[in-house]
Amino acid sequence: MAVHPIDYRYGSEEMRRIWDEENKLQKLLDVEAALARAHAKVGNIPEESARVISERANTKWVKLERVKEIEAEIHHDIMAVVKALSEVCGEHGKYVHLGATSNDIIDTANALLIKESLAIVERDLKELRSVLKRLAMEHKYTVCIGRTHGQHAVPTTYGMKFAIWLDEVQRHIDRINQLKERVLVGQMSGAVGTMASFGERGLEIQRLVMEGLGLKPARITNQIIQRDVYAELMMVLALIASTLDKIALEIRNLQRTEILEVSEPFGKKQVGSSTMPHKRNPIRSEKVSGLARVLYSNVIPALLNNPLWHERDLTNSSVERVILPESFVLLDEMLKTTIKVLSGLEFFPENIKRNLYLTNNLIMAEPLMLKLTEKGMGRQEAHELVRQLAMKAFHEKRDLLEVVRESEEAMKYLTEEDLESLKPENYIGLAPQIVDNVIAFIGEKEREEAFMGR
């Protein structure tokens, strides 16, 4: 019976499969097999024993049901795996888990699970990057009102919005690749990290195990990989979630009835409300924003897992069983949902233009001030004059330029041609060039990734 929504509602089958019990058991067995092979290479156990252990360290031989049965008796999860593997290896089973402590297996297996999960996250980030790149290119001249403090500011473009998100997504791709260097590490260092149980060949055994698994060996551990590594991982996942939350929040606001400049896709048979048939709710974006809160909250326990008693206690273990799969599965859902929303984003050009002119040219106050300064008025004097004219236009519900035409003080400096030039579409600065610069930078990153085979 499924209890947590990640079991049936959120995340792709691909991501959920990584964190299901069967695959987690397989990763533990993969580490045990790599350890046996390393022991054989340094001459600690017979090569035949390493071969048998490696062949049978899979869930075709070691059944999840049997592991659970043993754990119910002995109340130790890793020893249950060790016993179940030893059973199917016959006389060679005596060499299973030789010299290792439980977290040598757990933490190294976790690194394998994280490696598979990060590959999906990185792939989805790159797909999101492609969608945003296309939108930035298509809309670099789509002029819209910019808003600060929720109020109309000066014009910007939709290309700028998408390019800002695009640049941020690229930083996350960079962070993932930097993070791999620190988080995709394993250990094989014994009870308190000294490798005493492996003898003088401990460092070599650890190196061989990690080479066999495609991981880096940790430089130093006690009984565990230090949890600052996991905390960093959780913070990066939460940071990615915050960008998706940012995108979703903007779409939700822009889809509000009184704004309605863009809308997430709405299916022909989609139902918006159980009682109000007309509703077109931004439910996908709302889901993204909601799930982000869970990822934010998972950062705190990850940080609390770093300070443990002495060489290690068990308080981190139960927490990580929850926050690792939960964060990856929920982020997977958020990424795929955001890609779907942006890929089918609907634009309402008439509303974009309506909102651009909604304030009767009040948004032209800044270029008006600059025009007065250009014509010889002092900047501070121009600011105060335009402020007074803008407040007059606001209270009288009139067009700012109409009020300016009535100002003798302003018209000493301005011509009708000056006023005619004050149009929102003319005041987007270097926005298209800035967008082009971001797109060019992303192109360089994509070529660099292709060259490096990433």
DSSP string covering 320-373: HHHHHHHHHHHHHHHHHHHHHHHHT-EE-HHHHHHHHTTTTTGGGHHHHHHHHH
405-419 pLDDT, tens digit per residue, is: 999 999 999 999 999
Ramachandran quadrant class, 262 (left: phi over 0; alpha: psi -120 to 50; beta: rest): beta
281-339 pLDDT, tens digit per residue, is: 899 999 999 999 999 999 999 999 999 999 999 999 999 999 999 999 999 999 999 99
Is residue 278 annotated as part of the catalytic site, yes or no?
Answer: no
- Could you tell me the end-to-end alpha-carbon distance of the chain, in angstroms, rounded to an integer? 39
**Helices 431-452/102-138 angle, 10° precision:** 140
| Residue 277 in this model has a pLDDT that exceeds 80 | no
| Residue 439 in this model has a pLDDT that exceeds 90 | yes
381-434 pLDDT, tens digit per residue, is: 999 999 999 999 999 999 999 999 999 999 999 999 999 999 999 999 999 999
Q: Report phi then psi at 208, rounded to 5.
A: -65, -40
**Helices 21-41/102-138 angle, 10° precision:** 120
Task: For tokens 């880096």, name the residue.
Answer: 216
**How far is the C-alpha of 37 from the C-alpha of 208, rounded, in Å?**
8
**How far is the C-alpha of 154 from the C-alpha of 163, rounded, in Å?**
18
Residue 228 is encoded by which pair of tokens? 């600052």
206-232 pLDDT, tens digit per residue, is: 999 999 999 999 999 999 999 999 999
86-110 pLDDT, tens digit per residue, is: 999 999 999 999 999 999 999 999 9
**How far is the C-alpha of 93 from the C-alpha of 31, rounded, in Å?**
15
What domains can you pick out in the chain, each with its CATH number?
18-86 (1.10.275.10), 110-140+148-185+224-263+282-357+434-454 (1.20.200.10), 362-421 (1.10.40.30)
Residue 235 is encoded by which pair of tokens? 């913070």
Q: Report phi then psi at 229, rounded to 5.
A: -65, -45
**Which listed residue (4, 76, 273, 318) is catalytic?**
273
| Confidence (pLDDT) at 336 | 98
Task: For tokens 């690229």, name the residue.
Answer: 170
**Which listed residue (75, 149, 278, 395) is catalytic?**
149
The answer to whether 105 and 32 are in contact (CB under 8 A) is yes
Is residue 327 annotated as part of the catalytic site, yes or no?
Answer: no
pTM comes to 0.94
| Confidence (pLDDT) at 413 | 93
**Residues facing residue 155 across a β-bridge:** 145
- Please tell me the least confidently modeled range out of 32-41, 131-140, 261-270, 388-397: 261-270
In this structure, what DSSP letter does residue 11 have?
Answer: S
**Residues facing residue 104 across a β-bridge:** none
